């Protein structure tokens, strides 16, 4: 394939977990794929909380490849703590990565994308389903869903599509620590009609679909085995049972 006509994808937060699966899916589909993550991962370095870092990453991709067709933002962090006990710095840390970071990626991707390009953000089941102890994560992901819709309105006239994927339980390095607490995974699965957790490659397939779905924008695609139809697990109960 002529490189000048080969589509280019940038996967932010693509060094592990769902992001890595997305990067693999794009590469397998024939895209030139740039994986970006924190410098310690060995990927193209980016800090989504630093606007200059995000801009430099995308400018570098443009300089090397001449175009950007899709930007996927899968960077994320979480924490566990009740609202009345949570340190403000911990709130800011989660919101800065999950919401402000997503805004910065969207802002600079929107300035540089080729016509007909797309931005895909990784939201969460927690965008619509509250979880005790997850206030900053839930708030950030709910905000990201609305940000996705606003950006879709604004960028639509340029032919740029903006969508998000909201996974349920997918066991990754981000979720693994919680899954090691007795009772939490079972509680998730009891509240998932299809009775199992998701796989990173299933989320990756959705990202590839959204990157090429030319009449889809402003969508927050729930992929959670039906978990949004039930209740969110009581994480605090299981943490208290395990640690007192």
Please indicate whether residue 188 is annotated as part of the active site.
no
- Distances, alpha carbon 29 to alpha carbons 9, 131, 199, 201, in Å: 11, 36, 19, 13
CB 41, CB 15: distance < 8 Å: yes
List the beta bridge partners of residue 8: 32
Beta strands in the chain (DSSP E): 8-12, 32-37, 44-45, 70-73, 118-122, 161-167, 220-223
- Distance, CA of 125 to CA of 175 (rounded, Å): 13
Phi-psi map region of 84: left, alpha, beta (phi>0 left; psi -120 to 50 alpha): alpha
- Distance, CA of 94 to CA of 137 (rounded, Å): 6
- Distance, CA of 206 to CA of 198 (rounded, Å): 12
Count Cβ neighbours within 10 Å for each residue of 51-79 and write b for 16 or more, e otherwise.
bebbbebbebbbeebebbbbbbbbbbbbe
- Distance, CA of 90 to CA of 74 (rounded, Å): 20
CB 97, CB 137: distance < 8 Å: no
Catalytic position from the list 137, 188, 209, 232:
137
Phi, psi of 84, deg, nearest 5: -70, -15
CB 119, CB 78: distance < 8 Å: no
Known catalytic residues are 137
């Amino acid at each position: 394939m002529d490189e000048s006509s080969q589509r280019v994808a940038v996967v932010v937060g693509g060094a592990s977990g769902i992001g890595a699966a997305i990067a693999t899916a794009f590469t397998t589909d024939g895209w030139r794929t740039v994986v970006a993550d924190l410098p310690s991962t060995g990927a193209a370095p980016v800090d989504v909380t630093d606007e200059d870092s995000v801009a430099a990453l995308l400018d570098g991709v443009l300089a090397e490849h001449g175009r950007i067709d899709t930007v996927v933002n899968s960077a994320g962090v979480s924490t566990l703590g009740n609202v009345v006990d949570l340190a403000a710095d911990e709130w800011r840390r989660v919101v800065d990565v999950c919401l402000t970071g997503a805004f910065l990626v969207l802002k600079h991707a929107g300035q540089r994308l080729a016509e007909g390009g797309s931005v895909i953000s990784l939201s969460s089941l927690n965008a619509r389903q509250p979880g005790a102890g997850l206030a900053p994560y839930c708030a950030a992901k709910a905000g990201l869903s609305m940000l996705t819709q606003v950006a879709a309105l604004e960028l639509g006239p340029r032919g740029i599509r903006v969508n998000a994927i909201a996974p349920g339980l997918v066991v990754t390095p981000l979720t693994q620590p919680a899954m090691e607490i007795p009772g939490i995974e079972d509680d998730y699965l009891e509240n998932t009609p299809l009775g199992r957790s998701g796989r990173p490659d299933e989320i990756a397939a959705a990202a590839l679909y959204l990157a090429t779905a030319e009449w889809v924008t402003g969508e927050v695609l729930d992929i959670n085995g039906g978990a949004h139809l039930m209740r969110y697990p009581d994480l605090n109960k299981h943490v208290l049972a395990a640690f007192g």
